[in-house]
Amino acid sequence: MGSRLGKAVGALVCAAALQGPVSAMAADWDVHRIGRNFDLVNLDEAELARRSIKVLHLGKLELQSGRIVATDPLVQPERAPFERTVPPGDFPVTVYEAQGRVAAAVVRFGEGRPERWGLATVAGQKLGELKGDLFFGYGVDAGTGSFMDADTPALMQQRLEIEMKTRHNDDVNYYDHVLAADIDSATASVIHRPIEGKRGNVAVFTSGWGDGYYPTFWGLAASGRPLVLMTDFFVIENADGNREPANP
């Protein structure tokens, strides 16, 4: 399976840490060549079931500032937020599973069918630099992806400090000592709240093929208003769980 796109980019995690463009399989760069599952957000659950795709509604993501981070939360929770922002609020998160893996994760900000799609970028990433088979995304080195507000990593750090003080031990691992107790063993996904009683949570899910480098996309209304934010983990293509991506 190493020739699949999601696995093929796994060796490029070091480049991901630098937030540089990573090779994909398209000959000429095109958002629809890189993101091949945009129809997931347009299909009802009956149609998705016919396509062997399971839908998991995680709950609502609390965005205090509207600046969104998509990242491996166990490796780089402090990753820069996307340049595009949304109004602060609580927004539903959906995980799409196929072939026993998380194929995509989506935050929805408004009703309707996106009229166009664009690659989500952080400051310093320029779409004009993407030529040939390149794309921007985030690196995964702990088999985990997430969405969170840019203010939430500070709460995660606060929780770590609380755990260290409570356990009288500086050797605290966020997954083992905090997150593991929240994770649903059946789905390996959760809406995690670092500090009980404080606003700010993290949508956590496994990352498709595991460690690798994955893109996130904005689905926009005709007016340019964000309707959805989707990370594609390259497990399927054409929103069909019966089909794996073609070999590069």
Q: Which residues contact 179 (CB under 8 A, 6 or more apart)?
A: 74, 190, 192, 204
- Per-residue confidence (pLDDT) for residue 3, from 0 to 100: 25
| 226, β-bridge pairs | 220
- Per-residue confidence (pLDDT) for residue 186, from 0 to 100: 63
- Per-residue confidence (pLDDT) for residue 5, from 0 to 100: 36
Q: How far apart are the first and last CA of the chain?
A: 11
- Per-residue confidence (pLDDT) for residue 176, from 0 to 100: 85
| Cα–Cα distance measured from residue 212 to residue 193, given in angstroms and rounded to the nearest whole number | 26
Q: Running along the chain, 248 residues long, what does each successive block of 10 average in pLDDT?
A: 32 38 50 91 97 96 98 95 98 96 97 96 90 86 96 95 87 86 79 95 95 96 97 96 71
DSSP 166: H
- Per-residue confidence (pLDDT) for residue 15, from 0 to 100: 37
Length of the chain: 248
DSSP string for residues in 173-205: -HHHHTGGGTS-TTTS-EEE-SSTTSS--EEEE
- Per-residue confidence (pLDDT) for residue 21, from 0 to 100: 55
Predicted TM-score (pTM) of this structure: 0.86
- Per-residue confidence (pLDDT) for residue 7, from 0 to 100: 35
The residue extents of the domains of the chain are 5-232
- Per-residue confidence (pLDDT) for residue 41, from 0 to 100: 97
Q: Are strands 138-140 and 212-214 parallel, antiparallel or unpaired?
A: antiparallel
